[in-house]
Amino acid sequence: MSAFFAFGLLACTGGAAAPGDDDPADSGVVNTDTSDTDTSDTDPADTDMLDTDDPADTAAAFCDGVPTLAYTNFGEGFLRENCQGCHASTAPDRYDAPEDVFFDTVEDAWAWSARILARSTGEDPSMPPQGGVTADDRTRLEWWLRCGTPGT
């Protein structure tokens, strides 16, 4: 919603707010409503949020209001349970998982984040090969790697 209002604010700059404009529909978007304390309306960064071609903006929409997940409160356990059986650098049997693909540390996980997302989230996830990860956990994986602070 904030993207919509940011757009309204932008679109109305320099015209709609002119004296004599008594269109009640304008009062929200031109921000004359004194009860509107949402200071993000004045954040210049907001005007950028409409650019749907920009992947960062899509992430902003996807990530709006999701829980903050990180390696310590989600990623480490998720990877240990679902991936490290084959991918850990110390795994006794890797079941042919490539030797250079392991998620032993938070740094390793983030170094592989794009491939982890590609293989384990979305419409047709292919890791782990045997499946078994719940839809909820795959969503949490996205919350962590798409919305979390990179490197954490």
140 binds ligand HEC (CB under 6 A): no
| Site stretch for ligand HEC (CB under 6 A), options 1-9, 40-48, 50-58, 97-105 | 97-105
**CA atoms of 125 and 133, how far apart (whole Å):** 10
115 binds ligand HEC (CB under 6 A): yes
For ligand HEC, the binding residue among 3, 116, 140, 142 (CB under 6 A) is 116
**CA atoms of 139 and 87, how far apart (whole Å):** 21
109 binds ligand HEC (CB under 6 A): no
Q: Buried b / exposed e across 48-72, counting CB within 10 Å, b at 16+?
A: ebeeeeeeeeeebeeeeeeeebebe
**CA atoms of 25 and 93, how far apart (whole Å):** 65
**CA atoms of 144 and 142, how far apart (whole Å):** 5
Lay out the site mask for ligand HEC across 68-87 (x = CB under 6 A, - = otherwise).
Answer: --------------xx-xxx
71 is written with which tokens?
């390696």
| Site stretch for ligand HEC (CB under 6 A), options 1-9, 31-39, 41-49, 125-133 | 125-133
Binding residues (CB under 6 A) for ligand HEC: these are 82-83, 85-87, 95-98, 101, 112, 115-116, 119-120, 127-130
